[in-house]
Amino acid sequence: MNLCVFCGSSIGLKPEYEEATKQLGFLMVKQGHSLVYGGGNIGLMGVLADTILKNKGEVIGIIPDFLLQREVGHRGISRLEVVSSMHERKKRMADLAHAFIALPGGWGTLDELAEILTWRQLGLIQQPVGILNTAFFFNPLLDQMQQMVRDGFLQKKNFDFLIIENHPEQILTSLLQSE
């Protein structure tokens, strides 16, 4: 199964973020899953790709040309596809993915998660979408989403399809059960 993972181009300030990312990568290889991701060699993206490669797994990166020109593309992965835009990147990752997981990250991660949740809500994709809530990083965002439901801006069924787990093994199990 190809798992598309959205995550930060930084490792963050808490060691739990890097530890959970490494554990997720190890478990993905152990369970026979390939990684589809943004193609970077920095931050949690680089940690995840390197962990999977170290354990002999497959890594498919999708990166826009302008980011590759900034020398943030991971040149050692199984396959690196260069696209022309951020939108094309997200579309290509979605085309390759059997499921999605968001790890801690910044604006880019939030953008990718929001777009894929919107696509799922609109029925453009059917793949499961999960959040790995390491060290409760996503709690404020999840609170906001629940506020959107309470105030009538998000249907409960569209919040309920989101899989939320705190540990790598739990997110993988839940995603597999929902497929």
Count the domains in the chain. 1
Residue range(s) defining the domain that contains residue 157: 2-172
Number of H helices, E strands in the chain: 8, 7
Is residue 28 domain-resident? yes
Six token digits for residue 152 = 């009538």
The domain that holds 19 is classified in CATH as 3.40.50.450
* 177 within a domain of the structure (yes/no): no
% of the chain at pLDDT higher than 70: 100
Answer yes or no: is 179 within a domain. Answer: no
Residue 178 domain flag: no
The Cα-based distances of 162 to 44, 87, 101, 114, 152 in angstroms read 22, 22, 10, 11, 17
Per-residue pLDDT, averaged over 64-81, amounts to 91
What span, in angstroms and rounded, lies between the C-alpha atoms of 54 and 172?
20
Inside any domain, residue 99: yes
Query: What mean pLDDT do residues 53-64 have?
Result: 97
Does 71 have pLDDT greater than 80? Answer: no
Catalogue the long-range contacts made by 74-78 (C-beta closer than 8 Å, 24 or more residues apart).
Answer: 74/39, 74/40, 74/41, 74/45, 74/46, 74/49, 75/41, 76/41, 77/39, 77/49, 77/53, 78/34, 78/53
Q: Is the pLDDT of residue 20 over 90?
A: yes
State residue 39's pLDDT score: 96
In a domain, 124, yes or no: yes
Task: Tell me what pLDDT residue 162 has.
Answer: 98
**Top-confidence residue, 69 or 31:** 31
Which two three-digit tokens encode residue 11?
A: 């490792």
Q: Is residue 148 part of a domain?
A: yes
